[in-house]
Structure 1
Amino acid sequence: MKTADIQLRDPYVLPDPAERIYYMYGSTDKNIWREGNGFDVYISRDLNDWDGPYPVFRKPDDFFADVNFWAPEVYYYHGRYIMFATFRRKDNDLLGTAVLSAEQPTGPFSLHSEGPVTPVDWSSLDGTLYIDETKRPWMVFCHEWQQVGDGEICAMRLSPDLTEAASEPVTLFRASETAWATPFHSPRFPGSGNYVTDGPFLFRTTSGSLLLLWASFVDGRYALGVAKSPTGKLTGPWLQEPEPLYSSDGGHGMVFRTWNGQLMLTMHTPNRTPDERPIFIPVAEDGDSIKVDGMYRTTRMPK
């Protein structure tokens, strides 16, 4: 199938250099707001034509969550494939990011941690892996706006085997600290005017600059922004780019390099179900940041 035929939110691409193929994961339940079944993967050699979907995770009967299976990210770590994914817990109805693992990128994935490794009394989502300069693993994640009002990007160290937290979380920044984000008025929460944080992803440029992609809203439209750490350290301080990288109702992005070395941004747009689709946009390093570079790889997008 073509990219524009795939209903998927929160795309995450894992390139396999040995096989020269791309694995694309994401929130793949048809209605991620009301369902919770599992995750699929799509496989491509050119980011245009895809095979799949192939199931990589299905919830077991005794699983700790029944709904809201979101934002899987897959990494090769110490000989296994590790997945970070968000689920809504049955015991307290809060979101949390858990760790799963598999021997192959196509799964099957099973629980690696006992459950979510994010704080039990926090509503947390969209965990992403970061390995610091001392080779220690961290999870960077969102403290949800529905709980704190002003959404936060937080970080906490993990144990070397990624099964549990190894430190208390620290707040890197809040959504209102950027000039481009505006309050989000959710139809599910009448009268609300909160600032959203979604989908953090860390990337180090060839010049050594540490960037953090994250999503929020501009006048009700989903948007993707960039923060940068001048120190090159995860703990910051983090400075926000004054304008979003993308503001046409798309976000929850990540970047990777294609086989020819092109830096590629993927995210989903539009931000509504069931119309969401992954897109691929070439980007380029621009000093200590990145900028959109060139035309979309997908030319047909749903209206």
Structure 2
Amino acid sequence: MLRRSDIQIRDPFVVTVPEEGLYYLYGTTDRNAWSGPGTGFDVYRSRDLAHWEGPFPAFRPETGFWGTENFWAPEVHCWRGMYYMFASFKAPGRRRATQILAANGPLGPFRPLSDRPATPPDWECLDGTLYVDRQGDPWIVFCREWLQVTDGEMYALRLSADLTATAGEPVKLFAATEAPWVRSAVYEVSGQEEARGFVTDGPFLFRPAEQELWMLWSSHGDEGYAVGVAKSASGEIEGPWIQEKLPFFRRDGGHGMLFADLEGRLTLALHCPNRTPDERPVFFRVKPEGGTLVISAD
């Protein structure tokens, strides 16, 4: 049995399965996710969010799979009785992209739904997430990399009902610098000289009330990696999107998502700190209050 502090993971994503009384924890689990061949994704399970079984191999690439490196940020969503993983991959000569995979249960094994990613083939993309609109139609919401556009962007793209194909053209939601709190970041790119840009990472959409649609997303602020809140003025995915002036979580942690625990309490998951190999999953009780999210003492 592992404690939370034993698990090195980036981009944590938790699925609660009430009928089993279990939580499943996914994330970027390669020891060095930045370089070298990708191994796959592991999953852990728990009854109390403190003690964990695993790791179990949720995904391992089969012969012929296009992605070979940068296995990042798997999310798992239950949709029409199946479990779908949205995860990012890259390969030499190929753009980084989000692929959709499927399995019969939360432990996997997850296998690609198709032979191609869901994001545009000529764009550098990552961190795709599933959003289902009020008409019941599925979308992928994803980031277009700052490496390609300097000012990172957020997009939405409608999917077919079985998630195997896209339907329509990408809709731009916002750019990173539309948020007043975002600062530029400097990264080493492929062992070469440093590059500077404005990051968009980790979208997660939720409705705090029937007519409202909010998004958690990450970038860099004054105190390091952070999580901000954006709100759709129309309550629909197309926006327009209005950015909170300050990040919700400010200091050296990010790529957040929300889940309801087994008692129905809203919980935030993110990784902190944001340095390898020290990143760990962190959980906070949260609640919408005063027009934003606040960490709850409950």
Shorter-chain TM range is over 0.9
Deviations 1:6-65, CA, capped at 9 Å, x for gaps: 000000001001112100100111111123011110001111111110001101121101
**Is structure 2 residue 233 aligned with structure 1 residue 230?**
yes
- Please state whether the residue corresponding to 2:147 is helix, strand or coil: helix
Give 1:66 shift: 0.9
Q: Quote the Cα distance in structure 1 between the aligned partners of 2:78 and 2:157.
A: 20
The verdict on how the C-alpha distance between 1:64 and 1:187 changes in structure 2, with shifts beyond 3 A counting, is: closer
Q: Is the 8 A contact 1:124 1:141 kept in 2?
A: yes
Give 1:287 shift: 4.3
Q: Quote the Cα distance in structure 1 between the aligned partners of 2:216 and 2:224.
A: 17
- Aligned residue in 1 for 2:219: 216
Q: Quote the Cα distance in structure 2 between the aligned partners of 1:207 and 1:64.
A: 40
Letter in 2 for 1:52: G
Give 1:214 shift: 0.4
Letter in 2 for 1:267: L
- Aligned residue in 1 for 2:159: 158
TM-score, scaled to structure 1: 0.93
- Aligned residue in 1 for 2:94: 93
Q: Is the 8 A contact 1:253 1:268 kept in 2?
A: yes
- Aligned residue in 2 for 1:267: 270
Q: Quote the Cα distance in structure 2 between the aligned partners of 1:161 and 1:201.
A: 21
Q: Quote the Cα distance in structure 2 between the aligned partners of 1:71 and 1:246.
A: 19
Unaligned runs of 5+ in 1: 296-303
Q: Quote the Cα distance in structure 1 between the aligned partners of 2:48 and 2:206.
A: 22
Q: Quote the Cα distance in structure 2 between the aligned partners of 1:22 and 1:273.
A: 25
Q: Quote the Cα distance in structure 2 between the aligned partners of 1:8 and 1:290.
A: 24
Q: Quote the Cα distance in structure 2 between the aligned partners of 1:67 and 1:89.
A: 6
Give 1:220 shift: 6.9
TM-score, scaled to structure 2: 0.95
The one of 48, 51, 54 equivalent to 2:50 is 48
- Please state whether the residue corresponding to 1:84 is helix, strand or coil: strand
Letter in 2 for 1:100: L
- Aligned residue in 2 for 1:290: 293
Q: Quote the Cα distance in structure 2 between the aligned partners of 1:94 and 1:271.
A: 24
- Aligned residue in 1 for 2:33: 32
The verdict on how the C-alpha distance between 1:104 and 1:280 changes in structure 2, with shifts beyond 3 A counting, is: same
- Aligned residue in 1 for 2:80: 78
The one of 252, 256, 260 equivalent to 1:253 is 256
> How many residues of Structure 1 are paired with residues of Structure 2 in the alignment?
294
The one of 186, 207, 222 equivalent to 1:204 is 207
- Please state whether the residue corresponding to 1:147 is helix, strand or coil: helix
Q: Is the 8 A contact 1:228 1:289 kept in 2?
A: no
Q: Quote the Cα distance in structure 1 between the aligned partners of 2:247 and 2:297.
A: 17
- Aligned residue in 2 for 1:60: 62
- Aligned residue in 2 for 1:301: none
Q: Is the 8 A contact 2:223 2:251 kept in 1?
A: no
Q: Is the 8 A contact 2:10 2:29 kept in 1?
A: yes
Q: Quote the Cα distance in structure 2 between the aligned partners of 1:63 and 1:220.
A: 39
Q: Quote the Cα distance in structure 2 between the aligned partners of 1:277 and 1:145.
A: 25
Q: Is the 8 A contact 2:84 2:100 kept in 1?
A: yes
The verdict on how the C-alpha distance between 1:208 and 1:50 changes in structure 2, with shifts beyond 3 A counting, is: farther
